[in-house]
Amino acid sequence: MSTATSTSLHTMLRDRLLSGTFGTGAGTVVTTLLGAGNNARLYQNGIPDGAAYPFAEMLIVNDATTSWGDGIRTTFDLEVTIVDRPRTQISRARNIADAFDNGMVGFTFAGADAGFLRITDRSRSQMPQGTGDVDREVVQIRQLFSGFMWSQMLARTYP
Amino acid sequence: MSATFTNHVPDFDALLSRAVDEGLKAGGRVLQPAVRKRYKERGFKGGYTTGADATGLTIDSIALSDPVTEDGVRVLRVGLPSGIRQPGDSATVGEVALFWELGHTMRNGVRRRVETWRPVAEESRHQVAAAFEKRFAAVMNGTARKPGPRPGA
């Protein structure tokens, strides 16, 4: 795990999401619903045509330097969208959201010379049922995990 | 001999409140046309199947709320009020915009997403902040023009 590159950052956050569990006790790991490893249906560069349900997409948005920290400190939002079908599978989508919460809330990464990252906030909202030509059987849950980081990739460029 | 002390704290509180609210409105008046401009650049068909995410009605409906206090913070929203729809449409312009912003799945299984509001807000955040600061300072310094009808209006 590291923040040395954008790719390693995305990999770290994706692995963390996929490590989450839902349910009581030790819980059930979310990979039982999304698959594991590179084949897990947690996409970070667009959703492939014909992707099987359920699937999820992750996207880092609002990545910006803050007013202090000489441009090295950044804040960001990790947006995760869970999509399932038919709508009777809403519980399955919620289980995935629970697991993502479990994996991300309070997540702190502090690696020696590899940067620092902390998730400080989260929110979850369910999209309303589709109207018009939107598939009414699709359920969609959107989560936002907000955090900040001192990334290795930016520190490296600091004189 | 006597001394008179006058408490100006209430006056300062009122001035500060007005400066914050006018600053928020100034910031909103930067974001509102920026979103309109981005929509206009992409055309005005609207709906889910046309490939365009806004109609002229969408653009005309972008509104500023009044500043309100939420969790102790003054907030002004720029957005699409609920309940506005094209004649004959089942979805409101706000619903159409929401599904385009956050992504939606068509009946044929194709997923589509075109973001407008978030990237425009991100790109214009410095201009929004600058507009707030300029108006805030003008009100606090007493150099701001009082709100009222514009000449000729």
**ipTM summary value:** 0.82
Q: Are B109 and A50 in contact (CB under 8 A)?
A: yes
Question: Is the Cα torsion angle A50, A51, A56, A62 positive or negative in sign?
Answer: negative
**Cβ <8 Å between B106 and A134:** yes
Helices (H), strands (E): how many in chain B?
A: 5, 6
Maximum alpha-carbon separation in chain B: 89
Candidates A88, A107, A99; CA nearest to A28 is A99
Q: Which band of pLDDT confidence, cut at 50, 70 and 90, is reported for residue A43? A: very high
Contacts of B99 in chain A (CB under 8 A): 127, 130-131, 134
CA of A153 vs chain B CAs: smallest distance (Å): 22
Cα A155 to Cα A116: distance, rounded to the nearest angstrom: 11
Q: What is the mean pLDDT of residues A69-81?
A: 90
Q: Are A34 and A18 in contact (CB under 8 A)?
A: yes
Cα B86 to Cα B57: distance, rounded to the nearest angstrom: 7
Residues β-bridged to residue A119: A147
Candidates B36, B77, B38; CA nearest to B59 is B36
**What pLDDT is attached to residue B80?**
95
Q: Where are the alpha helices (DSSP H) in A80-144?
A: 90-104
The model's pTM is: 0.85
Q: What is the mean pLDDT of residues A69-73?
A: 82
* Angle subtended by helix axes B125-141 and B9-42, to nearest 10: 150
Write out the residues of chain A at the interface with chain B, using a CB-CB cutoff of 8 A: 47, 49-50, 57, 61-62, 64, 81, 83, 85, 127-128, 130-135, 138, 140, 142
**What pLDDT is attached to residue A30?**
97
**What pLDDT is attached to residue A157?**
59
Cα A111 to Cα A118: distance, rounded to the nearest angstrom: 12
Candidates A137, A119, A113, A112; CA nearest to A16 is A119
Residues of chain B with pLDDT under 70: 51, 146-153
Return the H-helix or E-strand segment holding B79.
strand B78-79
Q: What is the mean pLDDT of residues A72-100?
A: 96
**What pLDDT is attached to residue B147?**
61
B120 is written with which tokens? 């425009």
Burial A12-35 (b: 16+ CB within 10 A, else e): bbbebbbbbbbeeeeeebbbebbe
Q: Which band of pLDDT confidence, cut at 50, 70 and 90, is reported for residue A113? A: confident
Q: Which band of pLDDT confidence, cut at 50, 70 and 90, is reported for residue A112? A: confident
**Cβ <8 Å between B98 and A127:** yes
Q: What is the DSSP letter of A134?
A: B
B81 is written with which tokens? 């009020």
Query: Exposed/middle/buried for B105, CB within 10 Å: 0-12, 13-18, 19+?
Result: buried
